[in-house]
């Protein structure tokens, strides 16, 4: 029993499949009076009556289907047991006219949109929307009730007035003399929703874990093995990186030494080249210009030249005469 149920005592069935008609009836009567089986029995009886009147022998049921939907005729027939009737809200029935003028004059409503049914009922002096899609009843203020019904009509809902007396229930006993504060109820609903969501997450995780434990074990083992292989490969890769790093450091040191040697050799070669260039320059340097001889010096040189020539001529004569 949740906090909302403890506070209000309201019996509230939540949606299962498409059995919203069943939930709407039980929420209306505040007890599990009807099941899908009992409503299906009523639907089959109605089908037989309709066939006998209309002469139809075969065909699909007009009062139920495989999804769990039941027609308004089934709900009306089910409520006859409690001497309760359904009156269309938009009809010209005196009770319907009274309800449209003063919605609070009616204790409960059943609403239908296509295949969905929901119940609105008053407990004590306050109305609650007992829609089975909601996890807890929704408090509807008296001033908002008429607007709420109008909103349902605009959304396409058919509204039926519940005319009759309900069996006694715990919610009526609790709320007859107690009015719930809307703000407090809203906070209570929010807290209940949070607790329920946490439980759902836990149960979902537990169910998923238990249903796939063997699979998870295999996956975990695979993950561990893959992780180990990855670690080993990472270690090898790391060792290669470290080795390469060491080689790079050593290569850098040897390169520095080699560069130093090359620098020294380059300096020595440069010095040698400078020395050879200096010698080459000395050898190729043009001689210093000599002083031009005087006329006397030229005359003396010319005399010496002729004397030398005469001497050589005299020396050659005896050899010629002897021949």
Instruction: Establish whether 165 is a catalytic residue.
Output: no
Helices and strands counted in the chain (H then E): 10, 6
| DSSP character at residue 104 | G
Name the nearest CA neighbour of 112 among 23, 11, 12, 8.
Answer: 23
Going from the C-alpha of 176 to that of each of 12, 76, 210, 256, the distances in angstroms are 18, 28, 47, 100
* Residues 21, 52: Cα–Cα separation, whole Å: 26
Instruction: Establish whether 169 is a catalytic residue.
Output: no
Q: How many CA atoms lie within 13 A of 307 on its CB side?
A: 6
Q: Which of 26, 27, 63, 131 is catalytic?
A: 131
To the nearest 10°, the Cα dihedral for 195, 197, 198, 203? 120
Residue 113 makes CB contacts below 8 A (sequence gap 6+) with 155, 156, 157, 158
Q: Which of 20, 23, 26, 163 is catalytic?
A: 20
* Residues 166, 81: Cα–Cα separation, whole Å: 11
* Residues 137, 188: Cα–Cα separation, whole Å: 11
Going from the C-alpha of 7 to that of each of 148, 262, 301, the distances in angstroms are 24, 97, 154
Q: What burial class does residue 91 get, using C-beta atoms within 10 Å of its C-beta: 0-12 exposed, 13-18 middle, 19+ buried? A: middle
Could you tell me the two tokens for 269?
């070669």
Instruction: Establish whether 20 is a catalytic residue.
Output: yes
End-to-end Cα separation, the chain, in angstroms: 169
**Catalytic center residues:** 20, 116, 131
């Amino acid at each position: 029993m949740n906090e909302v149920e403890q506070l209000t005592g309201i019996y509230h069935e939540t949606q299962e499949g498409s059995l919203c008609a069943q939930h709407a009836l039980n929420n209306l009567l505040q007890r599990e009076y009807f099941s899908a089986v009992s409503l299906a029995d009523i639907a089959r009886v109605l089908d037989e009556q309709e066939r006998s009147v209309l002469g139809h022998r075969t065909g699909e049921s007009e009062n139920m289907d495989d999804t769990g939907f039941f027609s308004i005729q089934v709900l009306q027939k089910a409520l006859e047991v409690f001497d309760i009737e359904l009156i269309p809200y938009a009809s010209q029935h005196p009770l319907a006219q009274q309800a449209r003028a003063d919605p609070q004059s009616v204790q409960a409503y059943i609403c239908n949109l296509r295949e969905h049914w929901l119940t609105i009922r008053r407990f004590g002096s306050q109305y609650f929307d007992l829609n089975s899609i909601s996890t807890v009843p929704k408090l509807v203020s008296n001033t908002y009730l008429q607007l709420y019904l109008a909103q349902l009509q605009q959304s396409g809902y058919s509204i039926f007035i519940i005319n009759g007396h309900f069996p006694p229930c715990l919610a009526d006993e609790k709320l007859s003399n107690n009015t719930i504060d809307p703000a407090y109820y809203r906070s209570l609903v929010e807290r209940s929703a949070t607790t329920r969501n946490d439980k759902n997450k836990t149960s979902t995780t537990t169910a998923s874990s238990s249903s796939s434990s063997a699979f998870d074990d295999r996956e975990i083992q695979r993950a561990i093995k893959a992780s180990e292989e990855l670690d080993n490969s990472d270690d090898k890769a790391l060792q290669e990186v470290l080795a390469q790093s060491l080689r790079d450091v050593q290569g850098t040191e040897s390169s520095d030494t080699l560069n130093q040697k090359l620098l020294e050799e380059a300096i020595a070669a440069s010095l040698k080249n400078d020395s050879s260039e200096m010698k080459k320059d000395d050898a190729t340097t043009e001689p210093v210009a000599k002083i031009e001889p005087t006329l006397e010096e030229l005359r003396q040189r010319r005399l010496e030249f002729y004397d030398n020539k005469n001497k050589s001529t005299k020396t050659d004569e005896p050899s010629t005469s002897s021949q």
